[in-house]
Structure 1
Amino acid sequence: MPGRQPAVIEDLGRGELVGWSWMFKPCRWHMGAKATTPVRTHEFDALTVRMLMDADPALGFVVGHWVSQVLAHRLQATRVRLLDLYAPYGSGSVV
């Protein structure tokens, strides 16, 4: 919303995936993330991972399924959070 700080949708913890833009064309980051405590991160080469997924269908399935689960969870969390912030009666969820 204009004039407001970006909405905080979710806090992530240890071992959680921050983004999935690397998996879907045009492979550009679309969201923001901010660390509020010291963190240790792991970065990987997205092109290499996509090539490995293409070369090994079993690996591709597992990684794709994992990313899909993360994506579905984040979309639901976003929906609930935005309803809480902007809808007249919130989401009705106690999440």
Structure 2
Amino acid sequence: MTKAIKLLTALPQAQRERLMELAKEVSFPEDTRIFEAGGTADRFWVIRSGAVHLDQEVTARKRVTVGTLGAGDLLGWSWLFPPYQWDFGSVAFSNVRAYEFDGPSVLALCVEDPLLGLSLVRSVAEILAHRLEITRGRLMDEYALGRRSPL
């Protein structure tokens, strides 16, 4: 399995510095719902410390954790693709500190600096591919053990 891609370290330094000009430091106390599936996706975060669970509602009363993110991880990618709605929900598993980025501002920067845009989209694509690989591995492990899928 490949090593996780971290968005800020994947970008070349000059592009990372331009992106960081748009960063705002935020924090979320433990158990804070950061976003809900189906909500408007207009921002993203890079986690500085703490942990976040990604979840999916399976019934009106039950959510299933589908992933956990930590320091350096990208939280949120739906801001990049129409219809700009979250595919999952997200909750702070512990106290979280993060850099927050406004999606429309980042998209405008990508239009202004196409090289940064290409690097950013490639990095996000690599992150998503890595997460799909992890999920596939989990599903195969569950199948091999004769269990129902956790997803």
- 1:37 is aligned to 2:97: no
Match of 2:10 in 1: none
Match of 2:109 in 1: 52
| In structure 2, distance between residues paired with 1:43 and 1:66 | 17
Q: How many residues align?
A: 89
Instruction: With a CA cutoff of 8 Å and minimum separation of 6, indicate the structure with the bigger relative contact order.
Output: 2
1:5-20 aligned at under 5 Å gives the runs 5-20=62-77
Offset at residue 2 of structure 1 (A): 5.8
Match of 1:93 in 2: none
Query: Secondary structure of the residue that 2:74 maps to in structure 1?
Result: coil
**Alignment RMSD (CA, Å):** 2.5
Q: Residue deviations 1:35-60, cap 9 Å, x none?
A: 22100122221011111111211111
Using the size of structure 1 for normalisation, the TM-score is 0.76
| In structure 2, distance between residues paired with 1:63 and 1:23 | 10
User: Would you tell me which structure has more strand in proportion to its own residues?
Assistant: 2
Q: Do 1:9 and 1:81's aligned partners in 2 also have CA atoms closer than 8 Å?
A: no
Match of 1:79 in 2: 136
- 1:66 is aligned to 2:123: yes
User: Would you tell me which structure has more helix in proportion to its own residues?
Assistant: 1
Runs of at least 5 residues in structure 2 that lack an aligned partner in the other structure:
1-57, 146-151
Using the size of structure 2 for normalisation, the TM-score is 0.51
Percent identity between the two aligned chains: 41
Runs of at least 5 residues in structure 1 that lack an aligned partner in the other structure:
91-95
